[in-house]
Amino acid sequence: MSKPRDEFKHFVLDQLARVPALSSAPFFGGIGLRSGAIFFGVIFGGTLYFSTSPATREEYQNLGSRCFSYMKEDGEVQDTKLFEVPAEVLDDAETLLVWANRAIAASGQKRKAGSGRKRPAPKA
């Protein structure tokens, strides 16, 4: 018998089956989701979170979605650009695919903008 978390993971992956080059892998106690090289979402416990941009975040918030956050070592709460996918979206594979593609685009835009990791300064 499979665990509820495994069942949820399999359900999500089945719902996202049409995402191009979909892959999943362990990610800090959850499951990270990628489309090719682009990280666009994560499953933590029984919740699916997608990457957002300023343009898409408001729709998540209007539907009551919560931001994924965590506590840093110094005790400060760190919010992320990941927002909970609403249940009504998760249950509809067609709508979920649209939202997944928007999450992929949001992650891809940030990556193209060069706002990723800082490169070390060249040595003099």
Q: Is residue 122 part of a domain?
A: no
Strand 47-51 to 67-71 pairing? unpaired
Tell me if 25 sits within 8 A of 42, measured CB to CB: no
Q: Is residue 84 part of a domain?
A: yes
Give exposure, 13-25, as e/b (b: 16+ Cβ within 10 Å).
bebbeebeeeebe
**Which residues, at least 6 apart from 27, have a Cβ–Cβ distance to it below 8 Å?**
42
Angle at 114 between CA 108 and CA 115, to 5 degrees: 90
Q: Is residue 39 part of a domain?
A: yes
For residue 123, pLDDT over 80 is answered with no
* Average pLDDT of the residues of the chain: 87
Q: Which whole number is the average pLDDT over 76-94? A: 94
Q: Is residue 120 part of a domain?
A: no
Predicted pLDDT of residue 8? 94
Tell me if 103 sits within 8 A of 41, measured CB to CB: yes
Q: Which residue has the higher pLDDT, 49 or 117?
A: 49
For residue 120, pLDDT over 60 is answered with no
What does the DSSP 8-state code read for residue 82? E
Q: How many Cβ atoms from other residues are within 10 Å of residue 43's Cβ?
A: 21
Q: What is the CATH number of the domain that holds 86?
A: 3.30.1460.30
**Residue 109 confidence class, pLDDT cut points 50, 70, 90:** confident
Q: Is residue 117 part of a domain?
A: no
Q: Is residue 74 part of a domain?
A: yes
Q: Is residue 124 part of a domain?
A: no
**Residue 50 confidence class, pLDDT cut points 50, 70, 90:** very high
Predicted pLDDT of residue 4? 63
Say how many domains are in the chain: 1
Domain containing 11 equals: 4-111
Instruction: Please name the residue ranges forming H helices in the chain.
Output: 4-15, 54-62, 87-90, 93-112
Q: Is residue 9 part of a domain?
A: yes
